[in-house]
Amino acid sequence: MAQAIVVRELGGPEVLKMEGVTLAAPGPGEVQIRQVAIGLNFIDVYFRTGLYKSATGLPFIPGKEGAGIVTAVGDGVALFSVGDRVAYASADGAYASERNVDASQLVKVPDGIGLETAAAMMLKGMTAQYLLNQTFEVGPDTTLLFHAAAGGVGLIAGQWAKALGATVIGTAGSQEKIDLALAHGYDHVINYRTENFVTRVKELTGGRGVDVVYDSVGRDTFPASLDCLKPRGLWVSFGNSSGAVEAFNIGILAQKGSLFATRPTLFSYVATRPALEACANSLFDVVQSNKVRININQTYPLAEAGLAHTDLEARKTSGTTLLIP
């Protein structure tokens, strides 16, 4: 019998309860895997609280990201075999020791990358990939602001953006996190608890502002993020760690310099098999080239998923966190 975290009611971290679950044989198009590690992401909190709705309703097994070894394959699966090392970034139900996954969501993990590293980087790393290479094409002429620079996506994005030649500005909430971000590609990191980040961005850019703001914080950084942009700059809102941005008059974009705004999700960027493979391979390449290193800063037993969520929401974690079955 597999072990899984099952959410039977929406609420705080206390609703994350370990249960034994019966795992059926993989169905047509499915692969069964024994999980080695599971990635912890803020999107898991959104589903636990009900901000985002689970496709299956209650009860559900949370989690999007993991890596493991194939133990069985269903009918019609041609790309994977028993023993393959695989990972995924967008398959609901990750908080389990074993699980079935639609084969279309999986990618093979290259031999040079460990499964724990893969679990730590798939969702966060592919998010960084699309943000920096597709939502906005970052290059040597780019100056950008990345909120939550010491978070899981932030630490990957800082290194990747620096490898692309950009000038990289970040925000963080403590000296420890500032030092961590500076060691991961950021040129400047602003302490948002003690400094006005709009004022500092204008100082650092000679009053010009940045080309693009990447904002996973949400309510606490809006609309100030818009004031960091140069005219016709792009605000990328890709998360809501402080709460969702409330509805606003789109005319504010004109008032602040004919700005652009987008609310992307990874799942729109990997909706086809070629797009998924291209995004994952881009990530694998940048990691294997040592341009981006993946650091696992915290691990928790799967049974302590509630504690992991508590620490994540209290901003006690930095970088990548794994749950270990």
pLDDT in tens, 87-114: 999 999 999 999 999 999 999 999 999 9
Question: Domain ranges in the chain?
Answer: 2-121+295-323, 136-263
Place 18 in a pLDDT band, splitting at 50, 70 and 90: very high
The CATH architecture one would assign to domain 2-121+295-323 is Alpha-Beta Complex (3.90)
Task: State yes or no: pLDDT of 318 exceeds 90.
Answer: no
- Our measurement of the distance from residue 184's CA atom to the centroid of its chain's CA atoms, rounded to an integer in Å, reads 16
In this structure, what are the phi and psi dihedrals at residue 140, rounded to the nearest 5 degrees? -60, -25
Domains 2-121+295-323 and 136-263 share a fold: no
pLDDT of residue 242: 82
pLDDT at site 290: 96
**Residue 122 CA to its chain's centroid (Å):** 8
Range from 54-63, 121-130, 315-324 carrying the lowest mean pLDDT: 315-324
What is the model's pLDDT at position 244? Answer: 82
Using DSSP bridges, classify how beta strands 260-262 and 296-301 pair: parallel, antiparallel or unpaired.
unpaired
Q: pLDDT (tens digit, 9 = 90+) per residue, 244-259?
A: 888 899 999 999 999 9
- Under a CB-based contact definition with an 8 Å cutoff, are residues 196 and 221 in contact? no
The DSSP line for 112-147 is TS-HHHHHHHHHHHHHHHHIIIIIS---TT-EEEES
Considering only residues 261 and 152, tell me which one the structure prediction assigns the higher pLDDT. 261
Whole-angstrom distance, CA of residue 42 vs CA of residue 37: 17
- The secondary structure of the chain in percent helix, strand, coil, rounded to multiples of 5, reads 35, 25, 40
Predicted pLDDT of residue 319: 78
3-state secondary structure of 33: strand
Cα separation, 276 vs 269, in Å, equals 8
pLDDT of residue 241: 81
Instruction: Report which secondary-structure segment, H or E, holds 276.
Output: helix 273-288
The predicted pLDDT at position 315 comes to 85
Per-residue model confidence as pLDDT tens digits over 199-213? 999 999 999 999 999
Tell me the whole-structure pTM to 2 decimals.
0.91
How does pLDDT run across 180-197, given as a tens digit for each residue?
999 999 999 999 999 999
What superfamily would CATH give domain 136-263? NAD(P)-binding Rossmann-like Domain (3.40.50.720)
